[in-house]
């Protein structure tokens, strides 16, 4: 078993600076867990503490049921892949992948078997005789992954391994990493600042912010049921819109009254949940895909009049950027065939079935 357990982990530096503030996290055996968040949130520090490359200030880390706080990195049975491929330039791909096993005095036949099996999984068999200088960035990253795979560790640790690749290659390598995990099924902890990587790769996503864990869950749960404004705004691209409003009791239902006077009805199935907050200022959260061109039908749809500031044709869709009162940087997704121009009035439809209501003070989703 290779579950990873973090209990009340703190990492503090001189000057009373806490990079990680008492986090708890359980990562199951065979799970692909992604730590995601902006720069400085503590995700890489957490990974380095799991690896043993960073000393823990307080708390306890266990791998496979064994507490590893005082165990050096080489004895933790983990393999790490960094942004920097760190390949030996004078060695062939085969020798780069075999080197760690040679140092551990593995039999030659076993080394050969492991290297060739890893090369097959990563589709780099034809590259085994090449030197790193003859490889592309994506091929070098595959070799770095192969070097980790041949060790057959308890846990793989990835520290932003795709950040040095161009956009097209990142997409390709995301797919490769997912394929490898489906084949090898080793417990994996992956760090990235890219929420698209997190959503596409993870069994569970851990969203970190300022040294704490904001929310943990499967990608779709975080997308559709965020717990905080930070998670709602960080997961999803473009980000969720947040529009100041006031929740009011209507004649037969609750309504949201926007700054421009627009009145948006709250769906009946949300009434009981939101009624305790009636009469208060709130934030209406709507993702761009739930602000679209006018739709036919009744029920959860409500119209909003806007004045576009920027139009971004994307091919399969058009992004419309606008503001409403104090709410800036709002975005809607509309059909690319719909005519829209900056400054020309445009009517949108909000799908209130997908609305989120947030407390503007605490940032919690209510």
Distance between CA atoms of 88 and 303, rounded to whole angstroms?
61
Distance between CA atoms of 53 and 114, rounded to whole angstroms?
26
163 near 173, Cβ under 8 Å?
no
Peptide bond into 219 cis (omega under 30): no
Distance between CA atoms of 185 and 149, rounded to whole angstroms?
11
What would the pLDDT profile of 47-60 be if each residue is shown by its tens digit?
A: 999 999 999 999 99
**pLDDT < 50 positions in the chain:** none
E runs forming strands in 250-353: 254-258, 263-265, 281-286, 291-292, 301-306, 310-313, 318-324, 327-334, 346-351
Q: Which of 155, 224, 214, 164 is nearest to 194 (CA)?
A: 164
Would you call 88 exposed, middle or buried from its count of C-beta atoms within 10 A (0-12, 13-18, 19+)?
exposed
How much is the pLDDT for 1? 59
What would the pLDDT profile of 317-352 be if each residue is shown by its tens digit?
A: 999 999 988 888 899 999 998 888 999 999 999 999
In the CATH hierarchy, which fold is given to the domain comprising 241-358?
Answer: OB fold (Dihydrolipoamide Acetyltransferase, E2P) (2.40.50)
Q: 316 by DSSP, 3-state: which? A: coil
Give me the residue label for tokens 């749809």.
301
What torsion do the CA atoms of 80, 189, 143, 161 make, to the nearest 10 degrees? -90
Extents of the domains making up the chain:
4-227, 241-358
63 near 2, Cβ under 8 Å?
yes
Distance between CA atoms of 262 and 230, rounded to whole angstroms?
26
Residue 171's CB is within 10 A of a number of other CB atoms, namely 14
pTM above 0.85, yes or no: yes
Superfamily for the 4-227 domain = P-loop containing nucleotide triphosphate hydrolases (3.40.50.300)
Distance between CA atoms of 233 and 283, rounded to whole angstroms?
12
226 φ/ψ sector (left φ>0, alpha ψ -120 to 50, else beta): beta
Q: Which of 123, 153, 155 is nearest to 141 (CA)?
A: 123
């Amino acid at each position: 078993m290779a579950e990873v357990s973090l209990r009340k982990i703190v990492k503090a530096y001189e000057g009373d600076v806490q990079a990680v503030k008492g986090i708890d996290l359980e990562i199951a055996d065979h799970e692909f867990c992604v730590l995601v968040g902006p720069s400085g949130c503590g995700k890489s520090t957490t990974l380095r503490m799991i690896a043993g490359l960073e000393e823990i200030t307080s708390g306890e880390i266990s791998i496979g049921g064994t507490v590893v706080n005082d165990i050096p990195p080489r004895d933790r049975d983990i393999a790490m892949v960094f942004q920097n491929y760190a390949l030996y330039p004078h060695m062939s791909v085969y020798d780069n992948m075999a080197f760690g096993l040679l140092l551990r005095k593995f039999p030659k036949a076993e080394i050969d078997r492991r290297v060739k099996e890893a090369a097959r999984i990563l589709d780099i068999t034809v590259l085994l005789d090449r030197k790193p200088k003859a490889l592309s960035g994506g091929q070098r990253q595959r070799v770095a992954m192969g070097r980790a795979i041949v060790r057959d560790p308890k846990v793989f640790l990835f520290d932003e391994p795709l950040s040095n690749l161009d956009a097209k290659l990142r997409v390709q390598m995301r797919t490769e990493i997912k394929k490898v995990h489906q084949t090898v099924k080793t417990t994996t902890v992956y760090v990235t600042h890219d929420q698209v990587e997190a959503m596409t790769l993870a069994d569970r996503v851990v969203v970190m912010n300022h040294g704490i864990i904001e929310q943990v869950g499967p990608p779709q749960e975080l997308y559709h049921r965020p717990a905080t404004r930070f998670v709602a705004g960080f997961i999803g691209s473009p980000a969720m819109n947040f529009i100041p409003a006031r929740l009011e009791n209507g004649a037969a239902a609750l309504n949201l009254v926007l700054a421009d006077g627009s009145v948006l009805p709250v769906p009946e199935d949300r009434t009981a949940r939101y009624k305790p907050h009636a009469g208060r200022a709130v934030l209406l959260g709507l993702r761009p895909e739930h602000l679209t061109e006018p739709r036919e039908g009744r029920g959860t749809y409500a119209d909003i009049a806007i004045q576009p500031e920027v139009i971004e044709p994307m091919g399969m869709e058009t992004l419309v950027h606008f503001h409403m009162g104090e709410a800036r940087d709002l975005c809607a997704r509309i059909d690319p065939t719909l005519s829209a121009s900056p400054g020309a009035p445009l009517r949108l439809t909000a799908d209130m079935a997908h609305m989120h209501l947030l407390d503007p003070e605490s940032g919690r989703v209510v």
